[in-house]
Amino acid sequence: MAATNIIYGTAWKKERTVALVVSAVLRGFRAIDTACQPKHYREDLVGAALQTLYDEHEFKREDLFIQTKYTPISGQDPSQPLPYDPAADIPAQIQASVQTSLKNLRTNYLDSLLLHSPLHTFAETVKAWRTLVGLQDSGVVRKIGVSNTYDVGILEALEAEGGRRPDVVQNRWFEGNQWNNDVWAYCVRHEIQYQSFWTLSGSPSLLRHPVLREISTAKGCTPAQVLFKIAQMNGVTPLCGTTNELHMDEALAVEKLDFSDVQPLVDKVLSIIRA
């Protein structure tokens, strides 16, 4: 399976989606995040980009990790084409959404499928989760998870009442929500992949912090690279949604950074994050 230590995020790319996804993969990204939600994503254009990579650049489907989401009706724009009948029950909505995603992404399986958010009620969330468990058991989906889920109790209940612990949690991990410490710790403890978004754009104070800047200077890298590296060292897989190719390269270069000689400074940054 393709490496997923950093993921290219495709939200808000609109008509630029094809060119940006192709560029991201050619520069080194091997994991792509999208959603079956025309309001914020062009999943169909992600699929067009994948076809370009297969046809013109000798990539194979198994070279890439493709993740998408079922978005409840509350997160959809009803003025745009919906991927399912909103009058259908939740399992039928999810099955239809997955079929739309498979068609859009030109594949017969998904590496990862997430609930874009908990549903209106806990009972509905459990029903949706059980549907994802069934899709995983069928082999259509390899990993299942949730996004925008900030209550550890929900994660525990998905296992207790929904039949399975998530493989993936994708949340905002930034200074504005105190770094989602409870859910992050739960995921690390249970070896659940914790994927982060808003990490750079939502954390200007930390990126300006003197200790983080000291690491940046010592290692000859950017503050953004410092934060991504500290994330990766501590059980967090960052999403990177940049449209700038230089920033793509910088994000990918994080994997090769070695912070062993500045570990005391890294610990100070972690103490700020975990405060």
**Quick one: which of 96, 33, 97 has its CA closest to 70?**
97
Q: What is the pLDDT of residue 4?
A: 83
Q: Which CATH number fits domain 7-203+227-241: 3.20.20.100, 3.30.420.40, 3.40.50.1820, 3.40.50.300?
A: 3.20.20.100
Q: State the average pLDDT over residues 130-138.
A: 98
| pLDDT tier, 1 (very low <50, low <70, confident <90, very high otherwise) | low
Q: State the average pLDDT over residues 209-221.
A: 98
- Give the rounded distance of the alpha carbon of 161 from its chain centre: 25
For the CA atoms of 273, 201, 266, 4, what is the dihedral angle to 10 degrees? 100
Secondary structure of 44-69 as H, E, C letters: HHHHHHHHHHHHHHCCCHHHCEEEEE
Quick: pLDDT tens for 72-101.
999 999 999 999 999 999 999 999 999 999
* Residue 81 CB burial class (10 angstroms; 0-12, 13-18, ≥19): exposed
**Quick one: which of 154, 149, 10, 139 has its CA closest to 68?**
10
Contact call for residues 93 and 119 (beta carbons, < 8 A)? no
Domain segments of the chain as ranges: 7-203+227-241
The CA distance from 263 to 98, in Å, is: 43
Q: State the average pLDDT over residues 216-232.
A: 98
Q: State the average pLDDT over residues 41-66.
A: 98
Q: State the average pLDDT over residues 162-180.
A: 97
The CA distance from 35 to 72, in Å, is: 11
Q: State the average pLDDT over residues 158-173.
A: 96
Beta strand ranges found along the chain (DSSP E): 7-9, 31-33, 65-70, 110-115, 141-147, 168-172, 193-197, 236-240
- Predicted model pTM: 0.97
Q: State the average pLDDT over residues 36-41.
A: 98
Q: Is the pLDDT of residue 103 over 70?
A: yes
**Quick one: which of 219, 223, 179 has its CA closest to 199?**
179
Q: What is the pLDDT of residue 22?
A: 98
For the CA atoms of 226, 171, 65, 165, what is the dihedral angle to 10 degrees? 120
Angle (nearest 5°) at CA 196 between 194 and 200 = 150
| AA letter at 145 | G
The CA distance from 121 to 242, in Å, is: 34
Phi, psi of 244, deg, nearest 5: -100, 120
